[in-house]
Structure 1
């Protein structure tokens, strides 16, 4: 720390630059720590150049914070160029410095040359304004292999910048966390990022809220990020397992070596003991031979004592015999010990072989499990790809509608000045349009009520016809079975034709409802634009909108009530049909002689009722799905309104902060 402060003062003196007291005070406060915090200090170009030269040779600080320092383009360029050759700084914070084109280019060069920086914070800057400079930054990021955390919040990145960033992510293999909140990426940028994330396998955390990206792409991005994190976790687990297995194998090998060394030591010891015992026996034999020689010389010299010598010889022979028996016993014991040792060695070798076979089986099992996991991962990827393709195919209509809305928004922004002059006329026109829309909705509801009543009458007519046909079939079931079958075929064809006509009418009505909904959405978008432009002046519009929303809710409640009535009527018809079936079954029990002939007709009637039930259930499910789609469309419209209001508020706040920051930077620059 003292070396850094001294070098800073020395470089200031050599370059003829005034020493900034605030920087010196901050350096004195941060003694004994590896973090340099200069946030909030207004650094001039000269101080930035001196700090850049000092950072070239610095080996103390690992974290540097330069947030809200009002750095100019030249100052940022000089300071960041000093960090090209730095080998200690791992965290760099440049939040709120309004960095633009030249700073973005220098940052790209920094990422391409520096090999130690792991975290870079660029929140509240303007790096994404100039496409060429941001492309240079993205090239540096693509060539970097160390950076793991990158924060690009509120940097005015558009869809082209997102495409460049996606290209860099395809080439990068080290970035793990990326924060892109509160930019202007849009639909195209979200798709390009989705393609890049699907190819990148290291990015495990992505923040992308507040970028006007549809919910389907956000969900797809979340799934891709989750897939990457799952892959990383599986890879880590497999690495851990392989490390554990390798450690166990090493331990087993070491144990085998130790056991082998112990066996060799025991064998050596036994050999030494055998040599020692053989030496002792040879010494005893030599001593005995010397005694015999002495005794022989005594016999030759003293012939008078032959009896004594013979007795001594007999005793010596007995001793020799005993010694021979001892030698034989020792040999047998040695052979037994050798056999035991050989058996123990064989047992140990068998145990070692069993352990090795067990380890090989475990390794094979782990490899099989890894292959199964890989196959499962590939199947999941294929399923994800098919699901994503289906989602993109299903939601092309939404993309077209959003594109049209954006075009209309652009046209509306061009016509704002003309509409300001015609506000009064627009208000009157809006009132008339609202009244027309209400009338149109009322007419549409009346038409739907009429159609529902017509459907009910048709169902009653069909029920009456079916009852008549049943009575005719019962009367002529004995004599005219063929005629009954023909009539049933005709009834089936008529029912199918009526169902097809009914389905066609339902589709036409649904198309008309969709067209009316689209018209209402267009009118609502126009109203939203006029209200967003004249919020301060036209507070009465909010009250009128609340009234319209209440009317729409009342209409929706009426629609739900009518749907409930329709369901109740269908249930009543089902109950009546069930009662009729019960009466038919009672009559069938009464007519015992005609059971076999009438059973076929009843089966056909049951099939018809089941078909009718299935058709009714299908229609109910279709109506429910249509209602859910309408609700989802309304929720998406409300979400788009809220997103546009938030964007407008964020743009206003950003413009105010930019204006205030530029004014403060212009008037509050330090004097040299």
Structure 2
């Protein structure tokens, strides 16, 4: 064994490749155990170079009788090189290639190995894929048919189909040395396995459908709860917006009343100014005498200026407050619009999720139907193959019986011809011996007795043959009846399986109908929710348009206020110019003012009352928004 390991290292160096340390270690261990006749490389991952070196060593090796290469995960080229090296080996009797995923190239190399090798008695090919490629498996079967030395062959779990099994049976007819074939073919077991698989798949599909239904109901309930929450939020927002709009309307009404009161006061002041103008024209001469009282009038005018400035400041302050409130309402309207957009986005996402889940359900249903169709096709193909095999066996037995009956009839005809010939000979003997009958009667009697005994023996022999043939015919008929019974049982099983498949189809169709009903209900609910949301959006848009109308009204009122303020300023300027003219006239009418002091005092009291009422109305208008 040390020589073998050294040769392995030497050949690896010649090929400029590194020897595998696990393989070298295993070679040394095999040399120390089992007398050095077993080369066990099971579970070692052999590289392509190692396979080539081992093939070269095994071509001329005379020590190893057992070669174990199970679970080595050999590739196609490595298997081919090893089997080419074993073609010329004359010592190895046991070859184990279990679990190496041998496919097309490996199957062809095995066929060549079986054609050329004459020493292998036991070949283990379990857990490979020899039956996947029909052409390569036919080459393997040809090699097996030409081999006359192999005694044990293990072909379990090689995915051999019915066609490969037929080729294997044809090769076994030519192979007379094989004593044990472990193939693990049992069609009934395969049918039971297929039935179990179908049942388990239907159970899993029903479970998946049930789980999907539960998930869909949960999602639908979650969606409805979200929609209810959104509905409540929208209702609350609409109520708050309505309350705010009512408050705005109240503030606008108050501002309108203030503006109306200001207009009335302005009209009163204009009327008073007109009266004062008339009186000033009338009292122009009196003003020349009222120079002493001009200082008091100036102070009163200064107070009027201060009061008008205070009024203007209050009006400007009120306008700024109104503008701030308008900006706040605008921000709230923007927030409502953003909430509407987010709700629309959430609805769009929920629609996308519904479409994706419906597509997944449809894909899973299509996959289940394709699986059922493939299982049905495979089962029908297996039944057809079994029926064809039974018909071939029945035809073969009937031909054999017909040939045996024809051979027996030919034998009976030959015996009849022999009997006729013997009778003719007897008649000739009788005619020839008629003259010497008296002398030869005893001899004729002896000959007759001998012929009779021979005929009896022949007839008994023929009767025995007929009896044996009838027995064989009865056995063949009983075998045919058994085959017919088996065929009937297979047909009943096939019918039962078809019924079960139809039942499963009906059940799947019922489940599909239930799913379609659920989808329709879900679509109806979604459409209802869409309609409600569209109505709510329409209401919100109407409210938004109403708010825009209110904004426009507020802007118009602001413009009117600005116009009125401008008019008031112009009126104040006019009044100042008029006051200047009046001052000039007052210089001339000092005397008239003294006489009209009482009237002016009364007029001042009237003005004071008007100012107090205006101040009170302004203070009430400023306090009402705070409330």
What is the TM-score of this pair, normalised by structure 1?
0.33
**Higher relative contact order by CA 8 Å / sep ≥ 6: 1 or 2?**
2
Whichever of the two has the greater Rg, that structure is 2
What is the TM-score of this pair, normalised by structure 2?
0.35
